[in-house]
C-alpha cells in the first residue's frame, strides 16, 4: 500500500485524540460480550447444536436454541434467527407482511424509508402510493403514511396524534439508521420514548416496528428491552451480514420482539400452522452462533473505524457525520465527497485495501431497488456483508459516501488511509 507520510501522521494524531472514545467503546463491548456469554450459558450451547438438519428440519435443537438465544440477547419476549433471510430488506418484508392486513395503515415515524423499502411498501420516493402488481403492501390494500422528522428527531406528538386520529394504523415504523438521508441515527432511548408514547395512545395501540440494521451492540441495550417498566418496540429486525452476524454468518437475518409479533412473523416466513417449528438449518447453526458470540467485539472494531474515518476526513476538509467525537448508535459514517468523481475515488480507495477483490475498480451501476445509480466497495468474504469494511453511495448530490464495518480495526484503519490517499485534501 502506498500511503503518504501526511496521511499516516493524521491517522496517528486521530488515534491519540480518540483514546478516550476508543476506551468507552471497549467498555461497551465488554459488557455486551458478558451479556451474550450469559445467554449462551443459560441455553447450554454445545456441539450438538451445530449438527445440520435437512428436509423439514423437525427436531433441530440448534435452530430452536438459536431462536431462544435471539430473544434473550435482544432482551425480547420471543425471536428467531434464520439463514433463510437473504437480506435485511427481506427480513423487514417478512415482519411487515406478518403484521399488516388489507385495510390497515402503516405509519413511518422517521419520514421516507430506505430506498429498498419503497418497493416493498409500494410507494415512490415522494411517498405516493403505487399499485403495480408486484406484490407490495400497497397491492394488498395496505395504506402508507409518514410523519417527517423534526430537527433530526421523531416528532412524537405528531406521531401520537396521527395514531389517535385513525384506528386503522396497525404499524408505527421507525428506521434506526439514517439510510441515505442526512439525519442523526436514533438512539435506543429515543426509540423507546416513541414506543412508550405510542403505547399510551389507546387500549389497542399499533405495533411499533424498528428497522434495527447497523445499530445492534453499539449500545448496551436494544429497542425492545423489557424489564424497566417503559414500553419497548414490538418488533426489531436486522440482517446477519451486518452487526449481529459478527462477520461469520454466511447469510440470514433475525426478528425479535413481543411473543405475538414474533409468532405472526414466523407464520409469514413459513406458513400458518407451521411457523417456527420447522425449517432445516443446513449446517448454518455453527456460524450463526459463532458470529453472534463475536458480534460485540466486531461491532466495536467497526465503531472505532468509523470514529477514525470521521477524524481523518474532517482533518482533510470534508463534511462528515457524525463528528469525530460524537457518540453514535450505529456503525455508519458519512463523508460528503462533493462530486461523483470524488465518491467513486473514495470507494476505490476502500476497495484497494480489501482482502477480497482488491484489484477490482468499483463503478456506478443501476442496483436493484435503488432510485439512482449506486457505487459500492465491498471486498468481503461474505458477498454484500456490510459488517466487513465497505462503503456505498448514490450518484446524486452531495455525493455522500456511506462507510460501515471493519471486522478488525487494523484493516479498517488501512482502508481509511487508502481512501484518504485516493481522495486527498478537499480542494
**CA atoms of 21 and 17, how far apart (whole Å):** 8
Spatial CA neighbour of 405 closest among 394, 413, 397: 413
Looking at the chain, the domain(s) classified CATH 3.90.1150.60 span 5-32+292-423
Place of cell 430473544: 71
Record: fold of 51-283 = 3.40.640
Q: For the beta carbon of residue 343, count every other beta carbon within 10 angstroms.
A: 28
Which helix (H) or strand (E) segment is 191 a member of?
Answer: helix 188-199
**Contact status, residue 169 vs residue 105, Cβ threshold 8 Å:** yes
Per-residue pLDDT of the chain (427 residues; tens, 9 = 90+): 789 999 999 999 999 999 999 999 999 999 999 999 999 999 999 999 999 999 999 999 999 999 999 999 999 999 999 999 999 999 999 999 999 999 999 999 999 998 889 999 998 876 677 788 899 999 999 999 999 999 999 999 999 999 999 999 999 999 999 877 778 999 999 999 999 999 999 999 999 999 999 999 999 999 997 666 678 999 999 999 999 999 999 999 999 999 999 999 999 999 999 999 999 999 999 999 999 999 999 999 999 999 999 999 999 999 999 999 999 999 999 999 999 999 999 999 999 999 999 999 999 998 777 778 999 998 899 998 999 999 999 999 999 999 999 999 999 999 999 999 998 888 6
Grid cell of 346 as nine digits: 473514495
**CA atoms of 378 and 347, how far apart (whole Å):** 9
Looking at the chain, the domain(s) classified CATH 3.40.640.10 span 51-283
Domain 5-32+292-423 in CATH 3.90.1150.60: yes
Residue 217 CB contacts under 8 Å (≥ 6 apart), including other chains = 28, 29, 32, 243, 244, 295, 296, 299, 300
Spatial CA neighbour of 39 closest among 66, 9, 12: 66
Grid cell of 168 as nine digits: 386503522
Phi-psi sector, 44: left (phi>0), alpha (psi -120 to 50), beta: left
Amino acid at each position: 500500500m502506498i500511503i503518504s507520510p501526511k496521511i499516516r501522521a493524521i491517522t496517528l494524531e486521530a488515534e491519540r485524540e480518540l483514546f478516550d472514545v476508543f476506551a468507552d467503546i471497549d467498555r461497551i463491548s465488554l459488557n455486551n460480550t458478558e451479556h451474550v456469554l450469559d445467554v449462551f450459558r443459560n441455553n447450554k450451547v454445545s456441539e450438538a447444536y451445530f449438527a445440520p438438519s435437512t428436509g423439514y428440519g423437525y427436531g433441530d435443537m440448534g435452530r430452536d436454541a438459536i431462536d431462544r438465544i435471539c430473544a434473550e440477547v435482544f432482551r425480547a419476549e420471543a425471536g428467531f434467527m434464520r439463514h433463510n433471510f437473504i437480506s435485511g430488506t427481506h427480513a423487514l418484508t417478512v415482519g411487515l407482511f406478518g403484521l399488516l392486513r388489507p385495510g390497515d395503515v402503516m405509519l413511518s415515524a422517521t419520514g421516507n424509508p430506505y430506498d429498498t423499502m419503497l418497493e416493498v411498501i409500494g410507494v415512490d420516493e415522494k411517498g405516493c402510493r403505487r399499485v403495480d402488481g408486484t406484490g407490495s403492501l400497497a397491492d394488498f390494500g395496505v395504506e402508507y403514511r409518514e410523519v417527517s422528522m423534526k430537527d433530526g428527531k421523531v416528532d412524537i406528538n405528531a406521531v401520537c396524534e396521527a395514531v389517535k386520529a385513525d384506528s386503522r394504523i396497525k404499524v408505527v415504523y421507525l428506521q434506526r439508521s439514517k439510510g441515505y438521508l442526512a439525519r442523526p441515527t436514533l438512539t435506543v432511548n429515543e426509540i423507546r420514548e416513541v414506543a412508550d408514547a405510542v403505547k399510551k395512545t389507546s387500549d389497542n395501540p399499533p405495533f411499533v416496528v424498528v428497522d434495527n440494521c447497523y445499530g445492534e451492540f453499539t449500545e448496551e441495550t436494544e429497542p425492545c428491552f423489557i424489564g424497566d417498566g417503559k414500553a419497548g418496540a414490538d418488533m426489531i429486525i436486522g440482517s446477519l451480514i451486518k452487526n449481529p452476524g459478527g462477520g461469520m454468518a454466511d447469510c440470514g437475518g433475525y426478528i425479535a420482539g413481543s411473543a405475538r409479533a414474533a409468532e405472526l412473523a414466523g407464520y409469514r416466513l413459513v406458513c400458518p400452522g407451521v411457523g417456527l417449528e420447522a425449517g432445516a438449518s443446513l449446517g448454518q447453526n455453527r456460524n450463526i452462533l459463532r458470529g453472534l458470540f463475536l458480534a460485540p467485539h466486531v461491532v466495536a472494531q467497526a465503531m472505532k473505524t468509523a470514529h477514525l474515518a470521521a477524524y481523518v476526513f474532517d482533518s482533510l476538509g470534508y463534511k462528515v457525520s457524525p463528528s469525530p467525537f460524537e457518540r453514535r448508535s450505529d456503525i455508519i459514517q458519512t463523508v460528503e465527497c462533493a462530486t461523483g468523481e470524488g465518491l467513486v475515488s473514495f470507494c476505490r480507495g476502500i476497495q484497494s485495501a480489501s482482502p477480497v477483490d482488491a484489484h477490482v475498480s468499483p463503478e456506478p451501476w443501476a442496483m436493484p431497488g435503488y432510485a439512482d445509480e449506486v457505487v459500492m466497495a465491498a471486498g468481503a468474504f461474505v458477498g454484500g456483508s456490510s459488517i466487513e469494511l465497505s462503503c456505498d453511495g448514490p450518484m446524486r448530490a452531495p455525493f455522500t459516501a456511506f462507510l460501515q464495518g471493519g471486522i478488525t480495526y487494523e484493516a479498517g484503519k488501512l482502508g481509511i488511509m487508502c481512501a484518504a490517499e485516493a481522495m486527498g485534501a478537499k480542494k
